[in-house]
């Protein structure tokens, strides 16, 4: 069964209201904001201040945006390595990570 997450490409961007968000990429990699899939809010109480909170929210949004591509790359790599010389613990770690994404 194919995984049921929002397909990429996705892009991270800062919204007019302040938080960072993730949305499908439209023309010229501009976000299609009407279809935003995640919002990474800025925590005003971040122990290292507002700039650290903004940096963290942006990093989280970029990680979410990369997830479909990273998942596909890991699946392809593990399929290519199946039965090969990859150490079992690395292969198992990859498969366990993919299991967290869902069936």
pLDDT in tens, 46-56: 677 777 777 87
Extents of the domains making up the chain: 10-101
Instruction: Kindly write down the DSSP assignment for every residue of 14-66, as one continuous string.
Output: E-TTSSEEEEEB-GGG-B-GGG--EEE---TT-TT-HHHHHHHHHHHHHHHHH
The pTM score is: 0.65
pLDDT digit string (tens) for 2-61? Answer: 556 666 778 888 777 667 778 888 877 777 776 667 777 666 666 777 777 778 778 888
Contacts of 84 (CB under 8 A, 6+ apart): none
Percent of the chain with pLDDT strictly greater than 90: 0
């Amino acid at each position: 069964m194919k995984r049921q997450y929002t397909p990429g490409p996705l892009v991270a961007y800062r919204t007019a209201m302040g938080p960072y968000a993730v949305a499908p990429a439209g023309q010229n990699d501009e976000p299609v904001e009407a279809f935003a899939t995640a919002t990474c809010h800025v925590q005003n109480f971040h122990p290292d201040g507002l700039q650290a909170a903004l940096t963290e929210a942006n990093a989280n949004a970029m990680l979410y945006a990369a997830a479909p591509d990273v998942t596909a790359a890991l699946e392809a790599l593990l399929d290519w390595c199946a039965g090969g010389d990859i150490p079992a613990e690395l292969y198992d770690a990859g498969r366990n990570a993919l299991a967290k994404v869902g069936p």
